[in-house]
Amino acid sequence: FVEIQTPSSSDANEVFETINSRGKDLSTVDLVRNFLMEKSTGSHEKDRVNNAWRSLLDDFQRREDIEKFLRHFWVSKHGDVKSHSLYVTIRKSLTEHFDQRPQVYGVGKFSAELENAASRYAELISQNTGDSDFDATLSEVKALSADALYPLLLSASERYEYHEMQALLQAALSYYVRWTVVGTRESTLLEENLFGVAKDLSKGESLENAAKRVAGWIPDDDAFFAAFKEASIPKQAQSRYLLAKLEAHLRSDAGIHEEISFGAGKVHVENIYPSNPEVHLKVDDHDSWLNRLGNLTLLSGKRNQVTSVRPFPEKAHIYSSSSMLISSRAQVASLWDSETGRWRMQGIVERQDYMARIALSVWPSSINVG
């Protein structure tokens, strides 16, 4: 430990930042707290900052969640800013407010806003809003790691009840799936759009108008259908999510209301045409077919490596008897030619076309926003 004596707390904070800039970087959260303590005009404001930070530590279990919250909180009010420049941006913007005379917006008000937003953000990321339908859709956001949606939801939750935000959330989710997950388009534009709406919401734009704007960016059915038919999804979390949603749709159509947990360990994603087929059955362009959605399905329980690599005739009964309709009733058998005893890649194309038609209803382009 090194003791450095300074004539004032302001000087102490300046020394703190100088040492930090020349040594191991502190987190943005630490730097912002230090800055707010520096700008506090008395013990009351310092207590307000400390109370806000205690709330952050209570609301979030992981340090990374606090870091993510701080950025999303700022984005929800001011638009896009990258993590590496977040502290500099916050410091510059707040200094302009805090140094105004007479001061209209000070440390206490900012700390109160931060504390209030933290509790709502914790409810969003933990799917614990108290609205079961809204929480169910939030679980899809988490399954996809669609973090770009949180600033928009945080901004809306400041003035609206969660049940009122369902249309906005559904529009944003369809936009994310159609644009990013299946369409594999540049995510930067999607983020800019959503962050811009979040900023406008915080400045008073109506929820209905915000939802209409988001819905207007959802790729149309023709584009989505074409992208889905060709989609290859190497990320297992994303493929599990897509297949689980298709499964839920099939179950609804079949009048099956049994609840199934689609979490990791409960069901697994199976490559029908396997990643390591027998040498004489390996097809040309093996890698390009492996993660095509038409080649993927769901089976209950953890993945059994021994079963997965068996020839199709030896595991056909596993698919046909599966409780997962995406396996038992979704054209899995079309991937195998029983006459030639070889894999049939056209079956992947046909099955994926079938899945794409279902997907149009699962992630609609037309959202009723009121």
DSSP 93-148: HHHHHHT-SS-SS-HHHHHHHHHHHHHHHHHHHTT-SS-HHHHHHHHHHHHHT-GG
Percent of the residues in the chain that have a pLDDT greater than 70, as a whole number = 91
pLDDT at position 368, please?
82
> What pairing do the DSSP bridges indicate for beta strands 342-343 and 267-271?
unpaired
**Whole-angstrom Cα distance, residue 54 to residue 115?**
9
**Whole-angstrom Cα distance, residue 214 to residue 175?**
7
pLDDT at position 227, please?
98
**Phi and psi torsions of 296, nearest 5°:** -110, 145
Each residue's pLDDT tens digit, 82-119: 999 999 999 999 999 999 988 889 999 999 999 999 99
Q: Which of 2, 7, 117, 106 is nearest to 52 (CA)?
A: 117
CB of 319 closer than 8 Å to CB of 327 = yes
Is the predicted pLDDT of residue 308 greater than 80, yes or no? no
Residue 178: which pLDDT band, with cuts at 50, 70 and 90?
very high
**Whole-angstrom Cα distance, residue 168 to residue 115?**
24
| Mean pLDDT of all residues in 3-9 | 66
Residue with the bigger pLDDT between 4 and 19: it is 4
- Specify the pTM: 0.90
| Mean pLDDT of all residues in 54-65 | 90
CB of 174 closer than 8 Å to CB of 144 = no
Q: Length of the chain in residues, anyone? A: 370
Instruction: Give the best-scoring range by mean pLDDT among 26-40, 94-108, 119-133, 296-310.
Output: 119-133
Q: Is 278 helix (H, G, I), strand (E, B) or coil?
A: coil
Each residue's pLDDT tens digit, 225-265: 999 999 999 999 999 999 999 999 999 999 998 777 766 67
**Cβ-based neighbours of 88, under 8 Å, separated by 6 or more:** none
**Whole-angstrom Cα distance, residue 196 to residue 191?**
8
| Mean pLDDT of all residues in 341-345 | 95
Is the predicted pLDDT of residue 362 greater than 60, yes or no? yes
Is the predicted pLDDT of residue 33 greater than 90, yes or no? yes
CB of 323 closer than 8 Å to CB of 329 = no
